Structure 1
């Protein structure tokens, strides 16, 4: 899909705050409301806008620990991955989950209340499917975190 400059400005505004009224978005991108609304609907229909969400403050919710979990497995079958992926999907604390290239097979980003809470999650996670090696790294400081994607010309 080809995005023009107006599409990119609309997307940038929505990434910053999805609650901005159509009238304000239209004014800021130089359109009237109906054409602006139609562009947003087209971007949704074509899957450029996947969904609109509210970003919560982890600290305010008592989820002050972020852990990056690197997993190696000796199993590389589709059945093992299906079992593991379905099991991991049951953990609301796992907020990101990737299949990797290189030495690490899977990478998870986990949020927890504290280290004891993470230990509870870790113990349950290691029972989902056979794992070869699990290595956890605790984030000391969040320096950058965003949901906004770059929008290039």
Structure 2
């Protein structure tokens, strides 16, 4: 379990993941050697799994994002596995989530524009297996997108 110093380090890492270890150590109030040891320990224990870059898809010309919610045929024991395998093959699917409740899965799909979205939907999404119901929500704006929690 991370202690107060580890949580300070994690807060600084989340606030500025591109900062050098020297700067992170200074901001967290530890020496660079201590920072390195603590980061390594948090990696080894699975607290830190990766340092990732976030891509702004809109800046790259992908203007449309749609959240698709699916209910699957639960009478088929392979429905989830086969649906997920097929969804992974769609290059424009950037996220797959499973749920408990009335919705079984959610896909986040990106497209360059509405014509591209229609093509993806007709050619790739409609053919996904074992779907009994679906719902589409088009993203208008993102108000908050954070993995940060109060540490």
**TM above 0.5, one fold?**
yes
Over the aligned positions, Cα root-mean-square deviation in angstroms equals 1.7
Change in Cα spacing, 1:108 to 1:151, as seen in structure 2 (3 Å) is: same
Give the drift of 1:105: 1.6
Give the drift of 1:77: 4.2
* Structure ranking higher on relative contact order (CA contacts 8 Å, 6+ apart): 1
2:134 counterpart of 1:115 = no
TM (norm. structure 2) is 0.88
Q: Secondary structure at the match of 2:135?
A: strand
Partners of 2:58 and 2:96 lie apart in 1 by: 21
Give the drift of 1:38: 0.6
Partners of 2:90 and 2:127 lie apart in 1 by: 12
Give the drift of 1:75: 3.2
Range with bigger deviation, 75-84 or 112-121: 75-84
Partners of 2:48 and 2:2 lie apart in 1 by: 12
Aligned residues: 150
Residue equivalent to 2:95: 96
Give the unaligned 5+ runs of structure 2.
Answer: none
Range with bigger deviation, 23-32 or 3-12: 3-12
Partners of 1:19 and 1:76 lie apart in 2 by: 48
Q: Is the 8 A contact 2:25 2:32 kept in 1?
A: yes
Q: Is the 8 A contact 2:72 2:79 kept in 1?
A: no
Q: Is the 8 A contact 1:68 1:139 kept in 2?
A: yes
Q: Is the 8 A contact 2:63 2:113 kept in 1?
A: yes
Residue equivalent to 1:60: 59
TM (norm. structure 1) is 0.87
Give the unaligned 5+ runs of structure 1.
Answer: none
